[in-house]
Amino acid sequence: MIKRTLFFGNPAYLSTKNEQLVVSYPEDDKEDKTVPIEDIGMLILENPQITLTNGLITKLIQNKAAVVNCDKQHLPCSLLQPLEGHTEQSERIRHQLNASLPLKKNLWQQTVSAKIANQAEHLLQRGKNHKKLARWAGEVKSGDTANHEAIAAAHYWQNLFDIEGFSRYQKGIPPNNLLNYGYAILRAVTARALVGSGMLPGVGIFHRNKYNAFCLADDVMEPYRPFVDELVYEIVESGENIEELNTFLKSQLLQIPALDVVIDDKRSPLMVAMSRTTNSLYECFYGLSRKILYPEFQ
């Protein structure tokens, strides 16, 4: 079952009763609302006047729900995750930490190749120049020593949007604001799945940064990025005003965990597919497999 993503942009008091999330509005006369905690996959908190009880936080974490907090710019800035995400967590972390360098280079090769292939397919579906990307996807070497990821990204962003002056830059012109928000949601989904598979999101196979607590999440989410790009592209093409990241635009981007993707020839929601990806990654660390399952853009 696909878990629900709940967004709170107004002041609210969140508590729990009878295994339910109880939403109260102290400043309004609205009736309390309830949601089964077992149905929640992600909770996004944007308003500084939101209060959560410790009992609710505990139950959300025990249910492996991702609790995401937003900053003054309304962008996700933190993720609350459980200390224990899997019954075999210590053993799984040991296999993750003991992964050999050749294995990690091979896993990064698969990751970059899958990302570029998905970017190429996205451009193809938009009638854009995709042939170089399609070729580069098959030329990625172990560890991506030729840096095909960066070369492909430059070509991809130059051809995707017909917006004068656009370049992919975090503080750049729209729709960078939409991409930033969408990738932050995707990152939270990825970190949640990694913890659920018993791994440390901070220990990457390629990304290495002592200031980044989500290096592995940043690795694994790469082939999923084109699905966010597709959603953002459709919003841009709809003619909606994208200068400001308003409530409507956020509601569209909060569909990301439920997007349909095809993985291992089976269609499933992105959040479910991500768990399959992270489980397959652990099997690579353990030695049961040499292949990560990534979705194919169709």
pLDDT digits (tens, 9 = 90+) for 193-205: 998 899 999 999 9
Q: What is the token pair recorded at 162?
A: 């017909």
- Residue 74 clears pLDDT 90, i.e. is over it: no
Establish whether 31 is an annotated binding residue: no
Determine if residue 296 is labeled as part of a ligand binding site.
no
Tell me the C-alpha distance between 60 and 40, whole Å: 8
Beta strands in the chain (DSSP E): 4-8, 12-17, 20-24, 33-36, 40-45, 50-52, 66-70, 76-80, 260-263, 266-269, 295-296
At 243 the three-state DSSP class reads coil
- Tens digits of residue pLDDT in 124-156: 999 999 999 999 999 999 999 999 999 999 999
Q: Where are the domains of the chain?
A: 4-80, 89-296
Q: Is 222 annotated as a binding residue?
A: yes
Name the CATH architecture for the domain at 4-80: Ribosomal Protein L15; Chain: K; domain 2 (3.100)
Question: Class for domain 89-296, per CATH?
Answer: mainly alpha
* Domain pair 4-80 / 89-296, same fold: no
Residues 180-188 have a mean pLDDT of 94
pLDDT score, position 212: 84
pLDDT at 208: 86
